[in-house]
Structure 1
Amino acid sequence: MIQEVDTVVDFNTVDAFPLFPNCKDIPSREKQQICFQLEISQHIYASLKQFKFNAKEVINDTVLVKLKVDALGKTSLSTIQISNKTKELLPEFDSILKVSLQNLPLLQPAIKRDMPVTTEFTLPIVLMN
């Protein structure tokens, strides 16, 4: 018996988002996504609050941080889109961000067609002082 196999996979969408341990029991896919976004934001913001940034000038900028959650659930930093001015005023920002990601718990990876997959997403971080 020959069975047709659908080989077209949309890699821009996943069947299930990466999840923190306390988000996995939420029944709604949309609410799981919101839970994930809140958890990652709260963790990173709390981690950044622990550091004293000594900028010589006022900073009012949004940094775009691209994060990757691999198929094993480990989160890492892909890229940081930061203005030259902010980078000059906060040269340690990227290394502090990397340290905060190391403290994240292991996540349940995203799922596509019942397989764990690597996903990337962008987290905006608003900097103001």
Structure 2
Amino acid sequence: MKKFLALLTILLLQSCNYFEKQVPSEKELLDKQLKEINWQEVDEYPSVAECELLTDEAQRKQCFFEFLTSTIQEKLSVDTLSVLYPELDTIEVKVTVYPDAKLEFEPQFPKDSVAYDKVKIDSILHARLVDLPKVNPALKRGIPVKTQFILPVILKVE
């Protein structure tokens, strides 16, 4: 019986080696997690208070883009852009939402466009697009991140 217990004890002590697993280092785990993250997509798009009540992510995103587009159109409709450039009915505006909820607007023009005074249009945009409602920045894994998108803004509604 003593021989059996001694043999069993030796076997148990030896079998512990089979259960040891190699634990990955912190750096390996971090690298693996970073590779799994899709950096081109955000978890939550920017939003405004009016859209926060919506629970569906797609509806909230659509609400935000419609709200921002209509707000920009409203602010630019009382301006001289349509007088200065009667042929200009739509302008593309690159909107940047920073993590601190700051907004930045930049007009986008075709590469071969020389018909428009880009500096003048840019200054009109910056002068008119003030006092916008507070925008909540986009979130990636719970952290506010910078996002950019281009909105087509219709200047003339006929």
TM-score in terms of structure 1 length: 0.82
Correspondence 1:15 to 2:43? yes
Quote the residue 1:113 is aligned against: 141
C-alpha distance in 2, partners of 1:60/1:100? 17
Cα distance change on mapping 1:91 and 1:118 into 2, 3 Å: closer
Cα distance change on mapping 1:58 and 1:80 into 2, 3 Å: closer
1:84 is paired with a residue whose SS is coil
Residue identity over aligned pairs, in percent, reads: 27
Correspondence 1:76 to 2:104? yes
Contact 1:110 1:119 (8 Å CA) reproduced: yes
C-alpha distance in 1, partners of 2:41/2:65? 16
Which of 94, 109, 121 is equivalent to 1:66? 94
C-alpha distance in 2, partners of 1:118/1:98? 19
Structure 2: where are the runs of 5+ without partners? 1-22
C-alpha distance in 2, partners of 1:84/1:113? 42
C-alpha distance in 1, partners of 2:66/2:148? 16
TM-score in terms of structure 2 length: 0.68
C-alpha distance in 1, partners of 2:52/2:67? 12
Which of 38, 43, 50 is equivalent to 2:66? 38
Quote the residue 2:125 is aligned against: 97
1:102 is paired with a residue whose SS is coil
C-alpha distance in 2, partners of 1:105/1:49? 18
Higher relative contact order (CA 8 A, sep 6+): 1
Contact 1:20 1:107 (8 Å CA) reproduced: yes
Contact 1:59 1:127 (8 Å CA) reproduced: no
Which of 117, 120, 124 is equivalent to 2:152? 124
Deviation at 1:64, TM superposition (A): 2.0
Aligned-pair RMSD on alpha carbons? 2.4
Structure 1: where are the runs of 5+ without partners? none
Residues 68-77 or 98-107, more deviating: 98-107
More strand by share: 1
Deviation at 1:127, TM superposition (A): 4.3
